[in-house]
Chains A and B, each alone.
Chain A
Amino acid sequence: NAGVMQNPRHLVRRRGQEARLRCSPMKGHSHVYWYRQLPEEGLKFMVYLQKENIIDESGMPKERFSAEFPKEGPSILRIQQVVRGDSAAYFCASSSTSGENTGELFFGEGSRLTVL
């Protein structure tokens, strides 16, 4: 599990600022997923990416949220003009190609966003 690296672990932003969360998948994994966990709720799927491609963003809010997974470097989840309701834990997970087919994900430790 330590193979999926997320940073920052904790991020505090004021309303209207931008939040950028980074995720480096496990070595050899080309599939990246972002999940959001609101207080007292389960993890909710946001977006699934492969290198340079967004495959499924059906769980992403239509506005202010975007994600990328460039050819080089980590995947980034970007939240513009944050609001208090964006306060949550954001988890990144990665899988191998076979793992994508079997649901076997490896998660990072999460980034906890607090919006003041």
Chain B
Amino acid sequence: AQSVTQLGSHVSVSEGALVLLRCNYSSSVPPYLFWYVQYPNQGLQLLLKYTTGATLVKGINGFEAEFKKSETSFHLTKPSAHMSDAAEYFCAVSRSGSARQLTFGSGTQLTVLP
């Protein structure tokens, strides 16, 4: 079985501040890990993904995430928040990398304050 826990359903940061969105997973096998973003009134978009290899993954719009096996975490960060980053962010895990086996977290709504 696999599951995803996103700590904090709502996160607020000031513009220019560090963004940190937390994701912990459980998986019986080495996982494939994803972050998706949903902007208002849009569908989810793939932000970044970890499959194998380098544990620090860079995505679009300056976001990155680090896979830490010992902590079963895949936290999403961005050094400096921009107003346009306001969105809902979903962490997801897959046992095999197959799209049909994606398990999503409940999402974190990011608010960026001026």
Q: Which residues of A contact B (CB under 8 A)?
A: 1, 4, 6, 31, 33, 35, 40-45, 48, 55-56, 91, 93, 95, 99-110
Interface residues on B, range: 20 to 34
Query: Given contacts A103-B99, A105-B99, is CB(A91)–CB(B43) below 8 Å?
Result: yes
Report the tally of A-B residue pairs with Cβ distances under 8 A.
Answer: 80
Residues on the B chain within 8 Å of A40, using CB: 9, 106
Residues on the B chain within 8 Å of A93, using CB: 43-44, 99
Residues on the A chain within 8 Å of B104, using CB: 35, 42-44
Residues on the A chain within 8 Å of B103, using CB: 42, 45
Give the docked Cα–Cα distance between A103 and B41 (Å): 23
Give the docked Cα–Cα distance between A92 and B9 (Å): 23
Decide if A99 touches B43 in the complex (CB within 8 Å).
no
Cβ contact of B43, chosen from A4, A31, A95, A104, cutoff 8 A: A4
